[in-house]
Amino acid sequence: MSTTPPPQAVTSDTHPARGERPAEGGAFGWLPALGPRGRRAFAGAFGGYALDSYDYFTLPLSMVALAAHFGLDSGQTGLFTTVTLVVSALGGAAAGVFADRVGRVRALMITVITYAVFTVACGFAPDYETLLVFRALQGLGFGGEWAVGAILVAEYASARHRGRTLGAVQSAWAVGWALAAIVYTLVFSFVGDDLAWRVMFWTGALPALLVVWLRRRVHDAPQATAAREQSAARGSFTAIFRPGTAEAPGLLRTTVFAGLLSTGVQGGYYTLATWIPTYLKSERGLSVVGTGGYLAFLISGAFLGYLTGGHLTDRLGRRRNIWLFALLSAVCVLAYAHIPGSADTLLLVLGFPLGFCMSAIFSGFGSYLSELYPTAVRGTGQGFTYNAGRAVGAVFPTLVGFLADSWGVGGALVFGAAGYALAALALLGLPETRGKELA
């Protein structure tokens, strides 16, 4: 018997201020439809997620310099990413529970402060072991940022616009990535490698001040808060693992398959995000500036992919959008890893569709995971499944690191395609939720 819960028909504070008429049409009709409070929530979530991305990418972009400074092999450098993502699962799950119990905005403030502090600490690490510990602690804040911010905005967004609204929040990842690539190009062009990687980590604290200011004016959606606080089960791990019965559906099936979906998508994504800078520099022989140019194609594709995927998840549905881009991402990974060594122009051009596809698949995550769980455990469910997927998917970059010694980084990258296959299969156990209202 299926234990997948039926859609929960509840409402949210998606209405604009009294007297303001929401604009429903146009490519950006979702923005005025949020209303003043919703737009402030969107700005806070967007800024926080961009900084989350910036602080994450300080490591992959500095990986070659770090490896040389500490004398590390590929397996050891891959372990940085794995430790970050595994610990982020704990941070994300904890932030989800905290968001259900004391509110979305309070949880967001804690995540920003945590990842900013420990990103800066990484720049002071005297040895490999200390850096590994600081990076793990940075993962505590990194893990909670997206899940809690996505829920905050989802509870303001209307069902009609939720996919594209959350896709726009997701596009902040590309903005932070682009900022990191620009800073990387400047820092490594003017500072020696032994100091440049430290400078990269130190810059991770600066933009956090802006988000702290933004979030002074951001509040949880009132009706969603009221619905959450009326439930005695809010923030309960027991609830998201409760199997269904003949009398009442449970959430166990949803949690298992949502976790597998998240594992597949993030395993593929973090394999590419972690190893492509190293692949371009060490195997393709590109300079710092050359690597930045290739990443510009990849990141611009990613930004447009987030926005396009957000629109398609509203038009096609959550499941069809993920299926489509799982297939296209796997194809792009295989093509990118097998481009002949002399075809650098083709490598440059293919970076755009690769970035587009591997990002568009994420656009439906914020709306889909929010819609799979009722209000009282939305933070717990989304925080756990998204970040458990990060933790298990984190094994992929480490495996690529160990395989790279014998297969080469380019050959090992194809392992990421297996993640997208897993994501496509996981959808078979999940319902379509397009059009569902939230509180």
Q: Which pLDDT value is given to residue 283?
A: 59
Which residues have CB under 8 Å from 433's CB, separation 6+? Answer: 7, 318, 367, 368, 371, 372
- Interatomic CA distance for residues 418 and 396, integer angstroms: 9
Indicate the length of the chain as a whole number: 439
- What's the pLDDT tens digit per position in 278-294? 666 665 555 554 556 66
**92-101, 333-342, 351-360: range with lowest mean pLDDT:** 333-342
CB 87 within 8 A of CB 200: no
Q: Give pLDDT tens digits for 79-133.
A: 887 788 788 888 988 999 989 988 888 888 888 889 889 999 999 999 999 999 9
One-character DSSP codes across 219-274: ---HHHHHHHHT-TTTT-HHHHTPPP-SSS--SHHHHHHHHHHHHHHHHHHHHHHH
More confident residue, 42 or 248: 42
pTM for this model (two decimals): 0.79
For residue 217, what pLDDT band results from cuts at 50, 70 and 90? confident
The alpha carbon of 193 is separated from its chain's Cα centroid by a whole number of angstroms, namely: 28
Handedness of CA 111, 45, 220, 165 (dihedral sign): negative
Kindly indicate the confidence band of residue 334, based on its pLDDT and cuts at 50, 70 and 90: confident
Supply φ then ψ for residue 138, to 5 degrees. -60, -35
